[in-house]
């Protein structure tokens, strides 16, 4: 299961960052798109850096990968829930 999940992450993880510009254009007015992408970039970068350390510490402390995958699943579910709350506005 670990190999399958890591393979899925490797396959889909690289496509997340280029989608930010498209999402910003779909959900926010054009006059604030730069601000939105500018705010998302450091948050994405910080998350991408810290997740490796945090999950590594969890693995070293507990001896299993389960907690890291549970937290990742919970964060993905929270992100899906939040994106479902976003309403598309009128065309700009």
What length does the chain have? 92
Residue 5 has a CB neighbour count (10 Å cut-off) of 13
Q: Which pTM was predicted?
A: 0.54
Tell me the CA distances in angstroms from 23 to 12, 50, 53, 72, 83, one per residue in order: 16, 23, 28, 22, 10
Task: Give the residue extent of every domain in the chain.
Answer: 15-85
- pLDDT tens, residue by residue, 9-33: 778 776 676 777 777 777 788 888 8
Q: What is the DSSP letter of 28?
A: S
Q: What is the pLDDT of residues 70-90, one digit of tens each?
A: 988 998 899 899 888 877 666
Of 41 and 63, the structure prediction assigns the larger pLDDT to 63
Average pLDDT over residues 49-68: 89
Q: How far apart are CA 47 and CA 9, in angstroms?
A: 15
Residues 31-54 have pLDDT tens digits of 888 888 888 888 888 888 888 888
């Amino acid at each position: 299961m670990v190999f399958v999940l890591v393979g899925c992450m490797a396959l889909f993880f690289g496509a997340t960052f280029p989608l930010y510009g498209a999402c910003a254009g779909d959900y926010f007015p054009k006059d604030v798109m730069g601000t939105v992408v500018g705010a998302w970039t450091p948050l994405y970068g910080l998350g991408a850096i810290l997740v490796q350390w945090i999950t590594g510490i969890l693995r070293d402390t507990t001896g299993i990968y389960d907690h890291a995958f549970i937290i990742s699943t919970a964060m993905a579910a929270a992100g899906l829930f939040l994106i479902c709350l976003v309403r598309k506005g009128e065309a700009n």
